[in-house]
């Protein structure tokens, strides 16, 4: 019998809210109860983080300018990341700070699937991460840059839609899947290895 708190298998525990309904379990009595669950998918921060590989670095571009580069890759999901309803999306936010901690440059990218719902469903564009195709995000660094911050958030629902439909969830509608702060050198502190941009 499966209790109401968790369903587990070796090395994993799945909250009960993600398991199959009792009717599904009743229809599959030949399988052990521990295998009859659905994973948290996009509702499970650890699962989403395990599907994403990310790195943040500083280098020089071909012209000698300093750049921050964030590389994202879907290395753990056999489908696009994110997947599920078209409301789900990732945001990539870069912030560049000076020596005093003031934001001197900021850039946000959204990875999403955009559809037209009526009169029939049509994909308009898709900027999500396919499996095995790394995406490179670069931001030029001004000479007074001393810190770069990169944060990737996974949204279950767009804030604008949440407000429009009056949805008041018990849990946040987004969570952070990557967050890194990189201290960078001033041009006077020495050279950086040239990147391959």
Longest Cα–Cα distance of the chain, Å, equals 69
Residues 77 and 144 in one domain: yes
Residue 179 C-alpha from the chain's centroid:
10
Residues 25 and 78 in one domain: no
The sign one gets for the Cα dihedral 64, 70, 76, 79 is: negative
Does residue 22 fall inside a structural domain?
A: yes
Q: Which residues contact 48 (CB under 8 A, 6 or more apart)?
A: 42, 81, 82, 154, 175, 177
Report the pLDDT value the prediction gives residue 7, as an integer from 0 to 100: 42
Residues 55 and 97 in one domain: yes
Q: What range defines the domain where residue 11 resides?
A: 1-39
Residues 29 and 54 in one domain: no
Residues 148 and 122 in one domain: yes
Does residue 51 fall inside a structural domain?
A: yes
Report the pLDDT value the prediction gives residue 41, as an integer from 0 to 100: 76
Work out how many domains the chain is built from and give that number: 2
CATH number, domain at 139?
2.60.40.2150
Report the pLDDT value the prediction gives residue 34, as an integer from 0 to 100: 53
Q: Which residues contact 50 (CB under 8 A, 6 or more apart)?
A: 76
Do you find a cis peptide bond into 82, omega within 30 degrees of 0? yes
Report the pLDDT value the prediction gives residue 185, as an integer from 0 to 100: 75
Reduced to 3 states, what is the DSSP secondary structure of residue 55?
Answer: strand
Does residue 159 fall inside a structural domain?
A: yes
Does residue 192 fall inside a structural domain?
A: no
Report the pLDDT value the prediction gives residue 160, as an integer from 0 to 100: 85
100-155 per-position pLDDT tens digit: 999 999 999 999 998 888 888 888 989 999 999 999 999 999 999 999 999 999 99
Cβ pair 143, 168 in contact under 8 A = no
State both tokens at 17. Answer: 């809210």
Residues 171 and 89 in one domain: yes
Does residue 195 fall inside a structural domain?
A: no
What distance in Å separates the CA atoms of residue 139 and residue 58, rounded to the nearest whole number?
A: 10
Residues 113 and 151 in one domain: yes
26-51 per-position pLDDT tens digit: 444 455 555 544 556 777 888 888 89
- Dihedrals φ, ψ of 127, to 5°? -115, 15
CA angle 175, 95, 124 (to 5 degrees): 60
Residues 88 and 154 in one domain: yes
């Amino acid at each position: 019998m499966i209790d109401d708190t968790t369903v587990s298998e070796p090395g994993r525990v799945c909250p009960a809210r993600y398991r199959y309904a009792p009717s599904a379990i009743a229809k599959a009595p030949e399988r052990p109860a521990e295998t009859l669950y659905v994973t948290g998918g996009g509702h499970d921060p650890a699962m989403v983080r395990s599907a994403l590989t990310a790195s943040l670095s500083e280098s020089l571009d071909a012209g000698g300018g300093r750049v921050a580069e964030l590389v994202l890759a879907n290395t753990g999901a056999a489908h696009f990341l994110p997947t599920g309803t078209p409301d789900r999306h990732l945001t990539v936010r870069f912030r560049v700070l000076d020596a005093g901690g003031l934001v001197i440059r900021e850039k946000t990218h959204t990875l999403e699937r955009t559809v037209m719902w009526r009169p029939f469903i049509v994909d308009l564009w898709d900027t999500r991460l396919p499996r095995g195709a790394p995406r490179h995000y670069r931001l030029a660094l001004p000479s007074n840059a001393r810190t770069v911050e990169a944060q990737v958030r996974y949204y279950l629902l767009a804030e604008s839609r949440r407000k429009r439909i009056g949805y008041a969830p018990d849990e946040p509608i987004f969570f952070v899947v990557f967050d890194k702060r990189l201290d960078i050198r001033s041009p006077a502190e020495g050279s950086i290895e040239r990147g391959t941009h």
